[in-house]
Amino acid sequence: MSELITFLKNCQKTHIEWAEYFEANPEEEKVKTATGEWDGSKTHRELFQKYEQVIDLIQGLEKSIIDLFKEFGNKASYHFADDSTGEWGLAQAAKDQALKLFDDNPGLQSKMREIAKDFLWSLKRDRPARDTRG
């Protein structure tokens, strides 16, 4: 998701640059917007704000996914560590949920690998890192 956020921030930057350009050159803005093919500075500032909202939403989703991964991973660790009540089935279910989150979110996997170092089960064994170099 970080590539998406970088892309959105670049788009956002373009809109603020156009807004500032048109604010500094009001005659140019009149010419460019007269045909309706160009947006004026006000619209570019509004788009800048919309991008900000989308970026915040995506970052909130990333945090939620990371928090859930940590919760399921820790729950699995807890149940694997104490099997006095035969809870290994609960451990496997929590581990499976953590692994699904891992698999479904490749853009967050490096963060998840770092978090998983504190688990009492091996993410490295279940999902070995792939060599992405050439």
Give the pLDDT confidence of 71-106 residue by residue, as tens digits.
999 999 988 887 666 666 788 899 999 999 999 999
Distance between CA 57 and CA 101 in Å, rounded?
A: 18
Distance between CA 106 and CA 84 in Å, rounded?
A: 35
Q: What is the pLDDT of residues 24-40, one digit of tens each?
A: 999 999 999 999 999 99
Distance between CA 30 and CA 13 in Å, rounded?
A: 22
Q: Closest Cα to residue 12, out of 71, 4, 85?
A: 4
Cβ atoms of residues 65 and 101 within 8 Å = yes
Would you list the domain boundaries of the chain?
A: 2-126
SS3 at position 93: helix
